């Protein structure tokens, strides 16, 4: 076998190990879905009447607000799931098993690749589950074409990949799982100050640029545009730039830490 | 990305070297703290080498460096004929490592751990299953094979750890304190397994706190202290390095004790325990002369024990700045 097929084979082995963990301990993954689902139900059924007054220049009803909020909730789900990845990576790195892998003739990057691919797959599965809840309470896309659905799916996967690389870096930088969980906290807080729940335009002027240009808002606006036909504008490029930037940063950060001598 | 996988064929100067592990001038410090200060090792293929040393001597550090886990600051290091710094991936293909702390996946079962190792050694599915089953059997883990490793006892984890190390049939094995935490039976089983490996021609580098373990298993022993190898040789050679052989006489009757102590010269008295130690190499001739002396002064000891120096004596003498702690009771050998 050449080195590429060895790299693929070892990465696949590591991925299977990660998925086996997720399969054996589903509650670890499912717990991470609670926050976005609670947020969805809370904002729709408890705050819904007030919130819907803020969109579409007022006069929107509950189903309009569901349509508005679901894209943001889906990307919040990604943020929540990758917090789990940060905790998991930090747990794994402190285990002796990783030291064993390092003394074996396996492809060095396979451990990291296994974590990254595993986390992206989990994020996508989580988004599908939360999306199903959204559909159950009445979310419908307004005549999105097959191509738009595909693009929406691709955007979610790319966004998951970007946040995952950052989360893996955080997991490696943390001395223990608690620290990893704290460090990754912004990944679930950022959606709260994005256009997920209310349009950025309704926020105070000084705060608006922060809300508009942080990574979640362009991605949410793009997803909204793909599923609901709203204006995407420059948000598509912004979202893409954020994803590529975060992937590059997270990749450099994670591999640099992984290749350092372990303590 | 990290370095790619290297071919595992033996390289170098064409012939199979008979040295499995060699180190010249191995140095390592953590920040200000110098842990290994120029270590030289030469371990022939097929032998068992034991590294002894007090806590914090740097044994684990030496294992980590030789097994490519961390980099040395300086030194020429070769393992399995490969340069550790230049070609770590080739070294990794030749070795198996059981570290001091357990390196098993607690979230999955013992069998899954074994199959994971088989996959990482690129065994085919059938071969992987066969090897896993055989090793689980050999390490007495068949009953526990389908249970999550987090439910294993410490000793079971330790056995699984070693079983995982053996999956790729490595020719050179590093064992960092392989029997710490094992009960006496498991310890003897582990020794039997290690002897079995050696009879298959495997080279074993082990560290241990148990001196009898080194005595039992090792062809050569090195004592590490303060970052330096302070003594190296066979167990017998090391024992010859320290004085410490003596004959101990114990009395129950204080007057007998007193007259013996007065009659015999060159004795160390222990008035509390009513016992006397006489330096001796334990030879028949010396014993007879001591007995003759006792007869001639007409005292009778209640108990006579012969002590030859053991590795404990060597250890204490070499690793604590020459301060041999007082050891009142020791079994005769
Ligand atoms: N990652 C590290 N950072 C700083 N110092 C370290 C590190 N690892 C080990 N040391 C120090 O290096 C010295 C040697 O440690 P090492 O673990 O090699 O000892 P050891 O001989 O294996 O001890 P033990 O018998 O307790 O296992 C110790 O003083 C330890 O504090
Ligand atoms: Mg140690």
DSSP code of residue B249: E
Chain B interface, Cβ < 8 Å to A: 1-6, 8, 67-71, 89-90, 92-93, 95, 97, 99, 101-108, 112, 116, 119-122, 148, 164, 168
Beta partners for B135? none
Ligand 1 atom 26: residue of nearest CA: B55
CA–centroid distance, residue B224 to ligand 2 (Å)? 12
pLDDT tens column, A212-260: 899 999 999 999 999 998 888 899 999 999 999 999 999 999 999 998 8
SS3 A100: helix
Residues B192 and B296 occupy one common structural domain: no
Q: How many CB pairs under 8 A join A and B?
A: 87
Ligand 1 pocket test, pick from B27, B29, B30, B208 with the greatest ligand atom count within 8 Å of Cβ, gives B30
Residues B207 and B156 occupy one common structural domain: yes
At A205 the pLDDT is 86
**Disruptive mutation site among B87, B115, B120, B170 for chain A (greatest number of A CBs within 10 Å):** B120
Residue B262 is assigned to a structural domain of this protein: yes
Residues B298 and B160 occupy one common structural domain: no
Ligand 1 pocket test, pick from B58, B71, B207 with the greatest ligand atom count within 8 Å of Cβ, gives B58
Tell me whether 0.90 is exceeded by the ipTM: no
Q: Please report residues of B whose CB lies closer than 8 A to that of A109.
A: 1-2
Beta partners for A204? none
Beta partners for B97? B174
Which residues lie with the beta carbon below 6 Å from any ligand 1 atom?
A: A 263; B 30, 33, 35, 53, 55-61, 100
Residues B114 and B200 occupy one common structural domain: yes
User: How near does any CA of chain A get to the CA of B126, in Å?
Assistant: 16
CB contact under 8 A, B119 and A13: yes
Q: What share of chain A is helix, strand, coil (3-state, %, to 5)?
A: 80, 0, 20
Residue B238 is assigned to a structural domain of this protein: no
| Residue that wins the pLDDT comparison between B295 and B1 | B295
Residue B269 is assigned to a structural domain of this protein: yes
* Helix A216-228 / helix A146-173 crossing angle, nearest 10 deg: 160
Please compute the mean of the pLDDT values over residues B121-125 and round it to a whole number. 95
The chain B residue lying nearest A108, using CA atoms, is: B2
Output the domain CATH number for residue B209: 3.40.50.300
pLDDT at B15 over 60: no
SS3 A59: coil
CA–centroid distance, residue B177 to ligand 2 (Å)? 7
| Residue that wins the pLDDT comparison between B286 and A255 | A255
CA dihedral angle for residue A203, residue A208, residue A212, residue A215, rounded to 10 degrees: -100
User: How near does any CA of chain A get to the CA of B189, in Å?
Assistant: 23
Residues B189 and B256 occupy one common structural domain: no
Residues B71 and B127 occupy one common structural domain: yes
Are B178 and B32 within 8 A, CB to CB? no
CA–centroid distance, residue A108 to ligand 1 (Å)? 25
pLDDT at B155 over 60: yes
Total structural domains in chain B? 2
- The rounded distance, in Å, linking the Cα atoms of B317 and B325 is 9
CA–centroid distance, residue B182 to ligand 1 (Å)? 22
Residues B187 and B141 occupy one common structural domain: yes
Domain span holding position B179: 17-233
pLDDT tens column, A39-74: 999 988 888 777 777 676 666 678 888 889 999 999
Residues B215 and B276 occupy one common structural domain: no
- How many residues can be counted in chain A? 263
SS3 B16: coil
Band (pLDDT 50/70/90 cuts) for residue B145 is: very high
pLDDT tens column, B161-201: 999 999 999 999 999 999 888 888 888 988 999 999 999 99
| B109: CB partners within 8 A, 6+ apart | B145, B146, B147, B148, B149
Residues B194 and B93 occupy one common structural domain: yes
CA–centroid distance, residue B62 to ligand 2 (Å)? 9
Residues B119 and B146 occupy one common structural domain: yes
pLDDT at A90 over 60: yes
**Disruptive mutation site among A4, A29, A100 for chain B (greatest number of B CBs within 10 Å):** A100
At B89 the pLDDT is 94
């Amino acid at each position: 076998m050449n080195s590429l097929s060895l790299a693929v084979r070892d990465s696949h082995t590591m991925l299977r190990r990660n998925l086996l963990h997720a399969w054996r301990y589903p509650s670890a993954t499912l717990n991470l879905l609670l926050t976005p689902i609670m947020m969805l139900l809370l904002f729709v059924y408890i705050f819904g009447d007030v919130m819907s007054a803020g969109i579409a220049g007022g006069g929107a009803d509950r189903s309009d607000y569901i349509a508005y909020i679901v894209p943001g909730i889906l990307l919040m789900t990604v943020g929540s799931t990758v917090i789990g990845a940060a905790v998991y990576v930090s747990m794994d790195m402190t285990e002796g098993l990783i030291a064993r892998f390092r003394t074996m003739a396996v492809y060095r990057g396979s451990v990291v690749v296994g974590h990254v691919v595993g986390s992206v797959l989990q994020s996508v599965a989580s988004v599908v589950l939360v999306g199903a809840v959204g559909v159950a309470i009445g979310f419908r896309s307004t005549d999105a074409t097959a191509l738009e659905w595909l693009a929406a799916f691709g955007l979610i996967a790319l966004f998951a990949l970007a946040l995952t690389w950052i989360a893996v870096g955080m997991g490696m930088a943390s001395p223990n799982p608690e620290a990893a969980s704290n460090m990754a906290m912004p990944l679930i807080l950022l959606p709260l100050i994005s256009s997920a729940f209310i349009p950025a335009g309704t926020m105070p002027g000084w705060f608006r640029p922060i809300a508009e240009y942080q990574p979640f808002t362009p991605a949410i606006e793009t997803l909204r545009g793909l599923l609901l036909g709203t204006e995407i504008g420059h948000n598509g490029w912004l979202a893409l730039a954020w994803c590529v930037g975060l992937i590059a940063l997270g990749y450099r950060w994670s591999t640099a830490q992984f290749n350092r001598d372990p303590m | 990305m990290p370095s790619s996988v290297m071919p595992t064929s033996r390289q170098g100067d064409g012939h199979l070297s008979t040295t499995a592990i060699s180190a010249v001038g191995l140095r390592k410090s953590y920040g200000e703290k110098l842990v290994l200060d120029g270590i030289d090792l030469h371990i022939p293929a097929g032998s068992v080498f034991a590294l002894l040393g007090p806590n914090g001597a740097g044994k684990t550090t030496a294992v980590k460096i030789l097994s490519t886990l961390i980099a040395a600051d300086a030194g020429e290091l070769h393992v399995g004929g490969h340069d550790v710094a230049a070609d770590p991936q080739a070294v990794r293909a030749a070795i198996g490592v059981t570290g001091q702390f357990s390196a098993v996946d607690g979230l999955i079962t013992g069998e899954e751990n074994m199959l994971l190792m088989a996959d990482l050694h690129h065994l085919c599915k059938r071969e992987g299953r066969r090897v896993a089953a055989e090793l689980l059997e050999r390490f007495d883990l068949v009953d526990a094979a389908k249970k999550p490793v987090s439910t294993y006892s410490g000793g079971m984890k330790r056995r699984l750890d070693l079983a995982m190390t053996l999956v790729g049939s490595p020719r050179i094995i590093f064992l960092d304190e392989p029997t710490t935490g094992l009960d006496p039976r498991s310890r003897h089983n582990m020794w039997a397994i290690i002897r079995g490996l050696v009879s298959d021609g495997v080279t074993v580098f082990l560290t241990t706190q148990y001196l009898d373990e080194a005595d039992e298993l090792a062809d050569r022993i090195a004592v590490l202290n303060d970052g330096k190898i302070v003594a190296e040789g066979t167990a017998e050679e090391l024992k010859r390095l320290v004085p410490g052989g003596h004959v101990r006489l114990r009395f129950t009757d204080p007057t007998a004790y007193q007259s013996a102590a007065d009659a015999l010269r060159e004795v160390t008295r222990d008035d509390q325990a009513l016992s006397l130690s006489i330096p001796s190499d334990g030879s028949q001739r010396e014993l007879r002369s001591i007995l003759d002396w006792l007869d001639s002064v007409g005292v009778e000891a209640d108990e006579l024990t012969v002590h030859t120096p053991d590795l404990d004596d060597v250890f204490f003498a070499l690793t604590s700045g020459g301060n041999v702690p007082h050891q009142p009771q020791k079994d005769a050998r």
